[in-house]
Amino acid sequence: MKIGFFQFDVAFAEPQQNRDAIRAALTSHEFDLILLPELCTTGSIFFDRHQVSELAEDLYHGPSSQLLQTLAREKSACIVAGLAECYEGQLYNSTLLAGPGGLLGVHRKVHLAPTDQLRFVPGKDFCVYEVQGVKVGVLLCYDIWFEDGLASLKEQGVQIILNPSNFCGEDSLAVIKKAAKDYGVYVIAANRLGMDHDCNTGVRFIGNSLIVDPQGKVLVQGDESQQLRVIELAF
């Protein structure tokens, strides 16, 4: 099974530009399962909740969902991406899973970071999905820091944990490696690059996306440049 990640410099509040970057990268590579970063079509350091509401999408019928489902069908693969979602009047920091047959599912971030809490409401569930006979589950960025999601996915027989992220420090890398080893699963973490805007936040995203095996060994790790990396594993 060919699994991997795509990390790139997300253009703040420019969803079409980001969709174009995703389309260009994914069209030119072969994979069975690919992971994109958290909030990969919008950026994440929003000015206010109103801005989120203008950028958030219906993940069942919106333009990002349609693009990812089309690409998944064309590539006969599974594409997983973090997106801002509007559902039944609520805003969620979500992850969409698209497969060759259409939408596989949506994970809504359960453990919201302080900045998330100002913009989004939390999700409730941790679910496992099957991709080419392999059981995968999503822990969205901060979710992987908490035992409840890890334990729930492990109980459901998860083999690969997908961690779309927006992290800025190497402490996140240590948490990801520890989760893989402690729970005996593969982890793919896709982080983004760059800064959203100059607003005196000093927030810079460091890339360094990685794939970790169940022993906690890093199989592949990105740097701070745009790249799509794929490795092949046997399950």
Whether residue 198 has pLDDT greater than 80: no
Q: What is the pLDDT of residue 76?
A: 98
> Mean pLDDT, to the nearest integer, of 151-178?
97
Q: How far is CA 200 from the centre of its chain?
A: 26
User: Six-digit token pair at 118?
Assistant: 């100002």
Judged by average pLDDT, the poorest of 11-25, 126-140, 161-175, 186-200 is 186-200
Please provide the average confidence, as pLDDT, over all residues in the chain: 96
Average pLDDT over residues 159-179: 97
Which pLDDT score is estimated for 200? 65
Q: Average pLDDT of 74-84?
A: 98
66/43 Cα distance (integer angstroms) = 19
For the ranges 107-111, 113-117, 219-223, which has the lowest average pLDDT? 113-117
The mean pLDDT value for 148-155 works out to 98
Burial of 155 (0-12, 13-18, 19+ CB in 10 A): exposed
Global pTM reads 0.97
How high is the pLDDT of residue 203?
87
For the cut 80, the answer to whether the pLDDT of residue 46 exceeds it is yes
Q: Report the percent of the chain where pLDDT is more than 90.
A: 96
Q: Which domains occur in the chain, in start order?
A: 2-232 (3.60.110.10)
